[in-house]
Amino acid sequence: MTEDFPPTPDAKLRTPSNLRLRMIASVAMIAVALVALYAGGFVFWLLAVIAALFMMAEWSGLHGADAKTKRTAQFALSVPLAIMAPIAAGPHFFVLGLLGAAFFFIAIVKRDAGLAFGAVYVGLPVFALLLIRGQADGLVLTLWTLSLVWATDIGAFFTGRTLGGPKLAPRISPAKTWSGLIGGVILATLVAFALHVGYGLPFRLVIATPFLGLLAQGGDLYESALKRRAGVKDSGNVLPGHGGVLDRLDGVVPVAPIAALLVILPQLLA
């Protein structure tokens, strides 16, 4: 989620016109994601790949990479992304090895482990989402994974603006509050419970939702710390009113792999 940077609140971000732009863009992005999610297969993979390549470029920018280095990092990541295509191997577990290989390739060629970590940071959530979507009830499970992050962000934003109160991490993200965190987790849990009642989402995943909501906010704070270190407000400017793709998906990054593990855990224990 985009936050104020530097610590002094930016009044322009709070204007009705800017808020309206953010809301319109959010609805549009969620609509695109839902259409791709429903379509599944090649469409869902393609959207994930496009997002991942933007995220890798933005990650590279946060690590001070030039244009040539960004392209090298994207090229290295494109190999495991291509293998995850439905017409190739899909989200097979040997893709994890390819993500590791992409990490070592970037680290050796560019001599920058922080930059190289982006291949794992970006690629692992793509693998996880494709793995979840490929399950028998993958549509509901993937909707749960994404909607809990959306609900956490939305609940945190509006609860924080309404109630205010003590800051969550003022040195990292001065706009976030403890009330926002609690409101976001509560909304995410309610959405998960609605999916349980309406679409049969396993109740164990409903129970796990509050913890994943906290994890989503942790991912948000981690990216905020990266941006502060880089001295930028947003990871990019490709999304109107929202900044970069990383700004929108920072919560999905840590949540998706854990959600995938929870989804396939019964299979692993069988």
Residue 10 has pLDDT above 90, yes or no: no
Q: Are 192 and 209 in contact (CB under 8 A)?
A: yes
d(CA 226, CA 54): 16
Same domain, 267 and 171: yes
Q: Percent of the chain beyond pLDDT 70?
A: 92
Q: Is residue 46 part of a domain?
A: yes
Instruction: Please check whether residue 33 lies inside any domain of the structure.
Output: no
What does residue 177 show for φ and ψ, rounded to 5 degrees? -125, 165
Q: What is the mean pLDDT of residues 15-39?
A: 83
Q: Tally the domains of the chain.
A: 2
Average pLDDT on 67-86 reads 96
pLDDT at 240: 66
* CA-closest candidate to residue 2, choices 189, 233, 156, 183: 233
> Of 109, 134, 159, which residue is a domain's last?
134
* Residue-level pLDDT at 241: 63
Q: What is the span of the domain harbouring residue 148?
A: 136-270
| pLDDT level of residue 214 (50, 70, 90 thresholds) | very high
What ranges make up the beta strands (E) of 89-248? 167-169, 173-177
pTM of the predicted model, to two decimals? 0.90
Domain-located, residue 18: no
Residue 147 counted as domain residue: yes
Whether 20 is in a domain gets the answer no
10 domain residue, yes or no: no
Contact 168, 190 (CB under 8 A): no
Task: Give the tens place of pLDDT for each residue, 102-136.
Answer: 999 999 999 999 999 999 999 999 999 999 999 99
Same domain, 129 and 143: no
